[in-house]
C-alpha cells in the first residue's frame, strides 16, 4: 500500500529505504502500523488532490497555500494552549503586499512545524503530522519562487542567530527577487514576540534590527551579526550563548562567498 501510493506521486524512495524508515519509526514508538499508515495516506491523498485542483485551475497557488497551511496546522494550538496556530500565519497574511508574499506567509511554518509534530511523542495526539518537505510543496505545484522563499524561512538544525545570518545572506544573493523575505520574518517574529520569554524577546529584537539595517542598506547582508550587535551597542552576552549562537559556525559562514 505504501509503495503504490508513493508511485502515484512519483516520489523517488527506494523500497528498502522507505520500508526501513517506516520500520524504524514504528519500532521507536508504541504506535501500531495502522496509525502511521493512516496519517501517511491522509497526507498523500491530500497532496494528490491539491496537485490536481491546481493543475485543473480549480484553485490558485495562493488558495492552495492557505489550504495546505490549514491542513498542516489544523487544530494545533500555540504554547498558550488556547490560540489556534493557524491564526499566526493568517495574521501575517493580512499585511502581505502581494500573492507571492501572502503564499509565503501561509506556508512559512509548514515544514518546520510539521517536522516537530512528526516526532514519536505526538503519535497518539491530535497534533501528530507526517512531516512536509520542500519536495512536497514542489509536487503539489507551488511555484519555485514560493518554495524557495519557504525554504529561506525554514529553520534548520542551527541556533537562531546563525539562522538569521543564513537567511539574510541567501535572500540577498545577487539576482534574487526574495529580499523582502526578511520582512516576512520580521512579521513572524512580531507575532511571536508577546508570548516569548524575555531572553527570546531580546533575540527577536536584535534580529529585527539586523534585518532592518540590511533592508535599509546601512549594512551588507554579509555582516556578522555579532559585529553588528557590538557596533550598535546591542551586544548582550545573555543571547550570544550556545543556545542562540554558534560563533565558530558564524565565522565559517563569513568565509563563504
- pLDDT tens for 94-133 read 999 999 999 999 999 999 998 888 887 777 777 778 889 9
| CB burial readout 109-123, b (16+ within 10 A) else e | bbbebbbebbeeeeb
Mean pLDDT of all residues belonging to the chain: 85
Quote the cell numbers at residue 43.
497526507
Least confident of 2-6, 177-181, 231-235, 245-249: 2-6
- Answer whether residue 168 shows pLDDT above 60: yes
- Answer whether residue 216 shows pLDDT above 50: yes
- Report, as an integer, the average pLDDT of 49-54: 96
- Parse the chain into domains and list their residue ranges: 2-149, 158-254
| pTM summary value | 0.83
% pLDDT > 90, the chain = 60
Q: How confident is the model at residue 79 (pLDDT cuts 50, 70, 90)?
A: confident
**Residue-level pLDDT at 205:** 95
- Report, as an integer, the average pLDDT of 155-171: 93
Can you say how many angstroms the Cα of residue 110 is from the centroid of all Cα atoms in its chain?
Answer: 5
| CB burial readout 170-203, b (16+ within 10 A) else e | ebbeeeeebebbbbbbbbbbeeeeeeeeeebbbb
**Residue-level pLDDT at 19:** 57
Pairs from 7-16 (Cβ < 8 Å, separation ≥ 24): 8/44, 8/48, 9/44, 9/47, 9/48, 9/139, 10/139, 11/135, 11/139
83/227: higher pLDDT: 227
245/25: higher pLDDT: 245
Amino acid at each position: 500500500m505504501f509503495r503504490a501510493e508513493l508511485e502515484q506521486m512519483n516520489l523517488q524512495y527506494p523500497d528498502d529505504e522507505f520500508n526501513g524508515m517506516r520500520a524504524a519509526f514504528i519500532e521507536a514508538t508504541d504506535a501500531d502500523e495502522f496509525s502511521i499508515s493512516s496519517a501517511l495516506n491522509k497526507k498523500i491523498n491530500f497532496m494528490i488532490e491539491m496537485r490536481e485542483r491546481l493543475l485543473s485551475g480549480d484553485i490558485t497557488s495562493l488558495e492552495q497555500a492557505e489550504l495546505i497551511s490549514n491542513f498542516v496546522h489544523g487544530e494545533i494550538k500555540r504554547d498558550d494552549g488556547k490560540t489556534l496556530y493557524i491564526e499566526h500565519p493568517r495574521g501575517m497574511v493580512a499585511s502581505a503586499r502581494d500573492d507571492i508574499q501572502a503564499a509565503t506567509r501561509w506556508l512559512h511554518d509548514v515544514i518546520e512545524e510539521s517536522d516537530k509534530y512528526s516526532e514519536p511523542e505526538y503519535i497518539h495526539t491530535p497534533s501528530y503530522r507526517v512531516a512536509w518537505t520542500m519536495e512536497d510543496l514542489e509536487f503539489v505545484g507551488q511555484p519555485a519562487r514560493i518554495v524557495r522563499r519557504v525554504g529561506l524561512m525554514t529553520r534548520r538544525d542551527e541556533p537562531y542567530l546563525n539562522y538569521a545570518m543564513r537567511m539574510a545572506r541567501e535572500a540577498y544573493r545577487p539576482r534574487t527577487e526574495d529580499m523582502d523575505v526578511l520582512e516576512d520574518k520580521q512579521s513572524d517574529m512580531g507575532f511571536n514576540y508577546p508570548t516569548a520569554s524575555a531572553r527570546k524577546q531580546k533575540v527577536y529584537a536584535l534580529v529585527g534590527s539586523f534585518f532592518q539595517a540590511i533592508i535599509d542598506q546601512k549594512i551588507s547582508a554579509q555582516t556578522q551579526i555579532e559585529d553588528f550587535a557590538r557596533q550598535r551597542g546591542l551586544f548582550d552576552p545573555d543571547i550570544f550563548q550556545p543556545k542562540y549562537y554558534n560563533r565558530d559556525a558564524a565565522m565559517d559562514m563569513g568565509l563563504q562567498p
